[in-house]
Amino acid sequence: MQISKKTLRILVILIVIALLVLGGAFAYRALHTSGRFQGNLVKNPDHFLMNASYFNGTDGCVLPLQKDQWLKVQMQVEKGEMTLRIADETSAPLYQGDGSACSEFLLAVPETGDYSVSLAGHRTKGRVEITALEAEE
C-alpha cells in the first residue's frame, strides 16, 4: 500500500500543528505557574517586607513585640488578590483584610508577645511592608 503525496503532506501538516499547539500550551503553563513567588522578601524581628512581581500562595513571619509599640503597615496590591492577617496567639487579630480600605496605617500593640504575620496571595503583584516602631516614652 502506497500513500499519496497529498495525503503525506496533510499528515505532516497535522503533526506540525499538533506539536505547535502542545508546545504553546506547555509554554503558557510554564509562564503562568513558574513558581509561587518572584520578588524580594525580608523577614527581621522588627520588619517584614514583601515586594512581589508574582506571589501565589502563603507566607509570613513572627514579630516579637512589646506592649505600646506601633506597627506601621503599608500594603499595595497592583494585580491579583492579597490578604493580610496580624494576630497574637490568643486574641482576635489586630488586622485582617486586603488593604483596600486603607493602604497605609498604624496599629497599636496591646500586649507583649509574639505576633504572627500571615500573607496570602493569588496571582498577586504588590507590596507589603510592616515595621515595628518603638514605643514612645
Show me where the domains of the chain are located.
1-34, 37-133
Q: What is the mean pLDDT of residues 13-24?
A: 92
How far is 124 from 51, CA to CA, in rounded Å? 10
What percentage of residues in the chain have a pLDDT greater than 90?
A: 72
Q: What is the mean pLDDT of residues 108-114?
A: 92
Structural contact between residues 86 and 128, judged by C-beta atoms closer than 8 angstroms: no
pLDDT of residue 97: 93
Say if residue 111's pLDDT is above 60: yes
Q: What is the mean pLDDT of residues 29-57?
A: 85
pLDDT of residue 49: 96
Q: What is the mean pLDDT of residues 101-123?
A: 92
Beta strands in the chain (DSSP E): 37-44, 47-65, 70-87, 95-97, 104-108, 113-133
Q: What is the domain class of 37-133 according to CATH?
A: mainly beta
Residue labelled with grid coordinates 493569588: 122
pLDDT of residue 90: 81
- The DSSP code for 92 is S
SS3 category, 25: helix
